[in-house]
Amino acid sequence: MGGLTTDPAFLDTTYVVIDFESATPRGYPAQPIEVAVRALRYENRAWITAGRFHSLIRPPAFAPVTSATVPPGVTADEVRAAPEPPEAMGALDRRFTADRRYLLVAQHAATEANLIHQQRDHCPALARIDLLDTIPLAKHLLPGLPAYNLDTLLRHFAILYPADRHRATADVDVTTDVFTRLITLADESARITDLAALLKIAGRTATLNQPEHHGLFDL
């Protein structure tokens, strides 16, 4: 194996695969209606699941719940009875502790990053965690694929397509499968030797961690 999975920084990190399902009401940004996470650690040359979280989320009044906006297999009544964003996102935020290093892992991480940033008042710890995007990582390790969406990567790796695809927990699980296979590829090829190199290829800085850009004439 290569140096990536023996790198102390890599081993010291908890990788939190995250997925939101959302609805986009007219005139407003996307609103989360479901979230799932799966926390992973690499120990003794194997991936272990260190924790899970899932919640439906009741959107605000300006994003009315209809049968067309709920995730497949969920009723509008279930979403209306779900916790509101402060409760749901706050419960997730409390799963993170100050004494651990985390990276969020997502397929097309910009989507998750934007939703988290919009909810930052309810999840300040989560909103400070940087991200790793499986798409640029797959492009680096698997050049020449016809596309790099999740379905294409599932077919490439022969990962079973879940019956409840487009539910947050199912998508987290298959994204986990893609992520761990990509790490194995990186490790076996020795093309990515440590966490810093991995982040240079596929990292995304959380919006709250980015430097502020002041206007030219700010005083």
Per-residue pLDDT reduced to its tens digit, 93-123: 999 999 999 999 999 999 999 999 999 999 9
* C-alpha neighbours within 13 Å on the C-beta side of residue 10: 23
In a domain, 214, yes or no: no
Asked if residue 213 belongs to a domain, the reply is no
Predicted confidence (pLDDT) at residue 196 exceeds the cutoff of 70 = yes
Tokens standing for 104?
A: 């969020």
Return all residues near 208 (Cβ < 8 A) that are at least 6 apart. 117, 120, 127, 128
The rounded distance, in Å, linking the Cα atoms of 127 and 99 is 16
Residue 174 inside a domain? The answer is: yes
Q: Is residue 215 situated within a structural domain?
A: no
53 within domain boundaries = yes
Average pLDDT over residues 207-219: 69
134 assigned to some structural domain: yes
Higher pLDDT: 73 or 108? It is: 108
Residue 172 C-alpha from the chain's centroid: 8
CATH number at residue 163: 3.30.420.10
What is the model's pLDDT at position 219?
47
The span from the CA of 205 to the CA of 139, in Å, is 19
Question: Which of 60, 53, 128, 61 minimizes the C-alpha distance to 91?
Answer: 53
- State how far the Cα of 181 lies from the Cα of 29, in Å rounded to an integer: 33
- Strands in 31-43's sheet, in edge-to-edge order, are 46-56, 31-43, 13-23, 101-106, 131-133, 203-204
User: Tokens in use for 32?
Assistant: 């989360």
Residue 28's pLDDT is 87
- Distance in angstroms (rounded) separating the CA atoms of residues 186 and 175: 16
Tell which residue, 108, 2, 26, 90, has the closest CA to residue 53: 90
Q: For residue 47, is it within any domain?
A: yes
Q: Which domain holds residue 165?
A: 4-208
Q: How confident is the model at residue 61 (pLDDT cuts 50, 70, 90)?
A: confident
Instruction: Provide the number of structural domains found in the chain.
Output: 1
Average pLDDT over residues 24-32: 88
Residue 218: per-residue pLDDT = 54
Q: How confident is the model at residue 217 (pLDDT cuts 50, 70, 90)?
A: low
Residue 2 has pLDDT above 80, yes or no: no
**Inside any domain, residue 216:** no
